[in-house]
């Protein structure tokens, strides 16, 4: 009985005290148990793609959100993983279960290379320079179609597993592993160094941090996660084509990342889980308007862009931080988070409801222009 | 072939220079990476097409109305969408991406996805050194040169230009010196989009007009701006010449050159960045904290 009681106590004290952690637990449970209660092939297909793109978006956030290396060419790593895994499994006949890791490894190598070339660039220069790399590769793919399949890409690629449910579980479990892995890394001492590099690289170097080494490590790590997502994508859709390298995909991941809220990992994942099924649903939806049937599929990208634009006007820091601020407050003394309904901090007992005088001071500070 | 390369390179460089200088201006003054810049170029081409073919206005009338309408639209977008989120750089970035997507989809809905042909503004061609150049391409060259001259005059010979350059140099000090930096930013948006719109109108009869025509020039323009140095006018002009000629040489001299022209141009950009991280004429800014 003791382990059970212990587990329940842990659950109550560590997870149920915070709405955000409860939400994450609910999400994981729902994700893993969905095929048991509802195994519609179409829904599973959309969710499998969602899981793959969630992994991709989380990897972008590691690089762009935490380290501040806003990458406009993240599709390069996705495409590197997809093409490597597809080529190895087709031409050499290696099992796809091994080639997806090879894809991730090659993507990590590519990420290291891109990071090495971009070490001296910062800010907008880095963003715009990274935009170039996938396009250079794309040009080469089109110019040498014998090796890459040209515009059609490599198909058919061998499957990892056969049924929709198995595919779903492969994508979901790998996505959970990668996302929680990235989140652990981001929460560790390593992650704190990344925050420092983003906020002030010169100060980080002055404090004795070897920033180039950290940046290269993050480029490789993030690229590996993106490459794994790309390899899964290729084996799931059974094609590794030029669409995995296009500007549209790079921009898509930037939209997901910023829409969800950067430097959070869970933000971009939440954004993908909201936006991707939404766009897929819009593609098939149609409604009656003034006696005519309007096919929403034709205007889905328009609706998508409008939704992103409107949400941003109200939540400029992104969706996840906005929601988190609504359901939780930060203790002014010990900086720990508490549910919004709490009157005193659950850890240090400080009062959480700021009285009138305190809020006035805060407003005065804002007038002085302290950021 | 040499003459072909020389002429094509020069014409493309003119168009790229118009686009790149506008982009560079708005980045320098307001620190906005405007992904929607070439979407305005696309809008101007469509607007010109609609006015010319559907309403039967003359070339000059259609061109002027198209440029003015697109410029007004850009100022409206800036006020409604960009200004409320100006403090959040990331939000500005995807707001411009979303704007570009919206324009693309609206044009797709209104005009369909097929290529539209626009009759040439000027028929016939002139012969120089044994190459025949259509008047339309000469027109592009002349318009580009005139617009570049006008921008130079505006920036270096007027009070507004002085304010723009001051704001680009140091926004806070310009504000302290009594310049209305918000209004300067808005004027810069208008000027920069007007340049893009002019480019869109003059190239519409030569290039194909379709809803995705903004993507290819966007990448080339970004390469030029980064190559020349972000925020530098001279850099953008020289970058445009370099990339325009490199593309022309690749297309005419290499097998499968049409596929590789983007790749080669971008490779040159990367090579320059490796040697000089701030671009050819960029200023290495003191780290902003």
Output the CA–CA distances (angstroms, integers) from residue A156 to A90, A100, A159, B137, in the order listed. 9, 16, 9, 46
B125 within 8 A of B135, measured Cβ to Cβ: yes
Bridge partners for B131 per DSSP? B128
Chain A residues whose C-beta sits inside 8 Å of any chain B C-beta: 70, 117, 120-121, 124-125, 127-129, 131-133, 135-136, 138-140, 142-143, 200-202, 247, 251, 254-255, 258-259, 262, 298-299, 301-302, 304-306, 308-309, 312-313, 316-318
A-B interface: how many C-beta pairs under 8 angstroms? 126
Distance (Å) from the alpha carbon of A296 to chain B's nearest alpha carbon = 12
Radius of gyration in angstroms for the set of CA atoms belonging to chain B, rounded to a whole number: 19
Q: Are residues A312 and B222, on separate chains, in Cβ contact within 8 Å? A: no
Distance (Å) from the alpha carbon of A135 to chain B's nearest alpha carbon = 6
Q: Are residues B226 and A139, on separate chains, in Cβ contact within 8 Å? A: no
> Side-chain half-sphere of A295: how many Cα atoms within 13 Å?
5
Q: How far apart are the first and last CA of chain B?
A: 52
Nearest CA in chain A to B279: A125
Q: Are residues A135 and B106, on separate chains, in Cβ contact within 8 Å? A: no
Q: Are residues A298 and B279, on separate chains, in Cβ contact within 8 Å? A: no
Bridge partners for B209 per DSSP? B116
Distance (Å) from the alpha carbon of A354 to chain B's nearest alpha carbon = 27
Please give, one letter per residue, the 3-state secondary structure of chain B. Answer: CHHHHHHHHHHHHHHHHHHHHHHHHHHHHHCCCCCCHHHHHHHHHHHHHHHHHHCCCCHHHHHHHHHHHHHHHHHHHHHHHHHHHCCCHHHHHHHHHHHHHHHHHHHHHHHCCCCECCCCCCCCEEEECCEEEEHHHHHHHHHHHHHHHHHHHHHHHCHHHHHHHHHHHCHHHHHHCCCCHHHHHHHHHHHHHHHHHHHHHHHCCCCCECCCCCHHHHHHHHHHHHHHCCCCHHHHHHHHHHHHHHHHHHHHHCCCHHHHHHHHHHHHHHHHHHHCCCCCCCCCCCCCC
Structure tokens at B268: 């040159």
How far, in Å, CA of B174 to CA of A191, rounded? 38
Domain with CATH 1.10.3470 in chain A: 25-286
- Among A119, A141, A148, CA closest to A220: A119
How far, in Å, CA of B221 to CA of A131, rounded? 12
Query: Taking CB atoms and an 8 Å cutoff, what residues of chain A touch B35?
Result: 251
Q: Is A7 exposed, middle or buried (0-12, 13-18, 19+ CB in 10 A)?
A: exposed
∠ CA B171-B176-B182, rounded to 5°: 50
How far, in Å, CA of A263 to CA of A126, rounded? 18
Q: What are all long-range contacts of A163-169, with beta carbons under 8 Å and residues at least 24 apart?
A: A164/A39, A164/A41, A164/A44, A164/A45, A164/A48, A165/A35, A165/A39, A165/A44, A167/A44, A167/A48, A167/A236, A168/A34, A168/A35, A168/A44, A168/A47, A168/A48, A168/A51, A169/A35
Distance (Å) from the alpha carbon of A15 to chain B's nearest alpha carbon = 31
Residue spans of chain B under pLDDT 70:
129-130, 283-289
Residue of A119, A203, A305, A366 to mutate when probing chain B, most B C-beta within 10 A: A305
How far, in Å, CA of B30 to CA of B126, rounded? 42
Cis status, amide bond into A166, omega within 30 of 0? no
- Among B66, B71, B39, CA closest to B52: B66
- Among B220, B246, B207, B185, CA closest to B19: B220
Of A129, A140, A262, the CB nearest to B226: A129
Residues in chain B: 289
How far, in Å, CA of A218 to CA of A242, rounded? 26
Of B259, B267, B289, the CB nearest to A143: B259
Distance (Å) from the alpha carbon of B59 to chain A's nearest alpha carbon = 31
Instruction: Give the fold, CATH level 3, of A25-286.
Output: ABC transporter involved in vitamin B12 uptake, BtuC (1.10.3470)
How far, in Å, CA of B79 to CA of B76, rounded? 5
Residue of B27, B81, B90, B231 to mutate when probing chain A, most A C-beta within 10 A: B90
Q: What pLDDT shows up at residue A368?
A: 41
Q: Which alpha helices (H) appear in A13-123, and where do they start and end?
A: 19-37, 41-61, 75-87, 96-117
Query: Taking CB atoms and an 8 Å cutoff, what residues of chain B touch A125?
Result: 226, 230, 273, 277-279
The b/e string for A29-42 (b: 16+ C-beta within 10 A; e otherwise) is eebeebbeeeeeee
* 3-state DSSP assignment of residue A344: strand
A328 within 8 A of A337, measured Cβ to Cβ: yes
Of A129, A201, A313, the CB nearest to B273: A129
How far, in Å, CA of A71 to CA of A61, rounded? 9
What residue segments make up the domains of chain B, in order of their start? 2-211
How far, in Å, CA of A304 to CA of A222, rounded? 26
Structure tokens at B3: 């003459």
Residue spans of chain A under pLDDT 50:
356-357, 360-371
């Amino acid at each position: 009985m003791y382990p059970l009681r212990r587990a329940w106590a842990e659950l109550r004290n560590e997870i149920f005290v915070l709405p955000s952690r409860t939400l994450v637990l609910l999400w994981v449970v729902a994700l893993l148990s969905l095929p048991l209660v509802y195994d519609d092939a179409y829904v599973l297909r959309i969710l499998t793609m969602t899981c793959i793109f969630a992994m991709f978006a989380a990897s972008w956030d590691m690089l762009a959100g935490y380290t501040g290396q806003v990458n406009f060419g993240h599709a390069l790593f996705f495409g590197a993983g997809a093409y490597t895994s597809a080529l190895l499994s087709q031409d050499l006949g290696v099992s796809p279960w091994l080639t997806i890791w090879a894809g991730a490894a090659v993507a990590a190598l590519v990420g290291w290379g891109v990071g090495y070339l971009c070490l001296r660039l910062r800010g907008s220069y880095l963003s715009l320079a990274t935009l170039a790399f996938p396009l250079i590769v794309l040009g080469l793919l089109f110019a040498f179609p014998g090796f890459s399949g040209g515009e059609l890409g490599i198909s058919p690629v061998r499957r990892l597993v056969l049924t929709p449910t198995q595919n779903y579980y492969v994508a979901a479990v790998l996505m959970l592993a990668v996302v929680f892995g990235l989140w652990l890394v981001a929460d560790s001492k390593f992650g704190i160094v990344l925050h420092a590099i983003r906020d002030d690289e010169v100060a980080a170097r002055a404090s004795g941090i070897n920033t180039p080494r950290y940046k290269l490590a993050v480029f490789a790590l993030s690229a590996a996660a993106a490459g794994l997502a790309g390899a899964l994508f290729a084996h799931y859709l059974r094609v590794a084509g030029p669409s995995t390298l296009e500007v549209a995909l790079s921009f898509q991941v930037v939209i997901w990342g910023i829409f969800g809220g950067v430097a959070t990992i869970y933000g971009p994942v939440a954004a993908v889980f909201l936006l991707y099924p939404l766009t897929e649903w819009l593609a098939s939806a149609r409604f009656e308007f003034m006696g005519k049937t309007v096919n929403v599929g034709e205007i889905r990208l328009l609706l998508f862009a409008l939704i992103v634009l409107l949400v941003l006007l109200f939540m400029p820091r992104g969706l996840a931080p906005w929601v988190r601020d609504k359901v939780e407050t930060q203790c002014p003394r010990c900086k720990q988070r508490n549910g919004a309904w709490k009157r005193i901090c659950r850890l240090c007992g400080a009062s959480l409801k700021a009285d009138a005088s305190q809020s006035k001071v805060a407003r005065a500070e804002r007038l002085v222009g302290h950021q | 072939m040499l003459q072909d390369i020389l002429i094509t390179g020069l014409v493309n460089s003119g168009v790229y220079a118009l686009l790149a200088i506008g982009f560079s201006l708005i980045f320098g003054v307001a620190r906005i990476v405007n992904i929607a810049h070439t979407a305005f170029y696309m809008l101007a081409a469509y607007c010109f097409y609609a006015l010319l073919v559907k309403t039967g206005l003359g070339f000059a009338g259609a061109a002027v109305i198209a440029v003015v309408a697109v410029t007004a639209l850009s100022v409206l977008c800036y006020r409604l969408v960009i200004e409320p989120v100006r403090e959040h750089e990331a939000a500005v970035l995807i707001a411009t991406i979303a704007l570009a997507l919206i324009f693309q989809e609206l044009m797709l809905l209104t005009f369909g996805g097929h290529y539209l042909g626009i009759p040439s503004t000027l028929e016939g061609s002139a012969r120089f050194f044994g190459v025949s150049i259509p008047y339309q391409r000469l027109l592009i060259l002349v318009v580009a040169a005139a617009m570049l001259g006008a921008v130079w005059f505006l920036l270096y010979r007027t009070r507004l230009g002085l304010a723009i350059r001051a704001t680009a140099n140091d926004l806070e000090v310009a504000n302290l010196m009594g310049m209305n930096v918000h209004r300067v930013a808005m004027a810069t948006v208008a000027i920069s989009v007007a340049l893009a719109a002019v480019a869109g109108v003059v190239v519409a009869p030569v290039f194909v007009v379709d809803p995705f025509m903004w993507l290819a020039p966007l990448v080339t323009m970004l390469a030029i701006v980064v190559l020349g140095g972000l925020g530098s006018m001279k850099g953008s002009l020289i970058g445009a010449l370099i990339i325009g000629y490199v593309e022309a040489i690749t297309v005419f001299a290499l097998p499968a050159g049409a596929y590789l022209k983007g790749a080669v141009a971008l490779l040159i950009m990367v090579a320059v960045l490796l040697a000089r991280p701030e671009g050819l004429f960029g200023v290495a800014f003191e780290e902003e904290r």
